């Protein structure tokens, strides 16, 4: 016998408070083309660091003056 639950799946998700909204930073998408060889180098570098490409590029941008 299976146990089924009725209700909204999102009911357990905590609603955002005004504090959460005030502290959240608006995100912007960055999209650009790279030659395949450079993309491969970037992907290998990120994997060797145990990071995603997004993490590597975000850290780079955060280090800019």
Which of 2-6, 15-19, 47-51 is the most confident on average?
Answer: 47-51
Q: How far is CA 53 from the centre of its chain?
A: 10
Q: Please state the domain extents for the chain.
A: 34-65
Which residues, 6+ apart, have CB-to-CB distance to 14 below 8 Å?
none
- The pLDDT assigned to 6 comes to 77
- The pLDDT assigned to 25 comes to 84
The tens digit of pLDDT for each residue in 21-59 reads 777 888 999 999 999 999 999 999 999 999 999 999 999
Question: Do residues 55 and 42 touch, judged by C-beta distance below 8 A?
Answer: no
- The pLDDT assigned to 14 comes to 73
Percent of the chain surpassing pLDDT 70 = 86
Alpha helices in 1-65 (DSSP H): 18-23, 36-49, 53-62
């Amino acid at each position: 016998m299976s146990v089924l639950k009725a209700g909204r799946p999102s009911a357990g998700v905590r609603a955002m408070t005004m504090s959460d909204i005030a502290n959240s930073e608006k995100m912007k998408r960055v999209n650009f083309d790279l030659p395949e060889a450079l993309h491969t180098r970037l992907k290998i570098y990120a994997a060797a660091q145990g990071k995603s490409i997004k993490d590597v590029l975000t850290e780079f941008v955060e280090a800019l003056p």
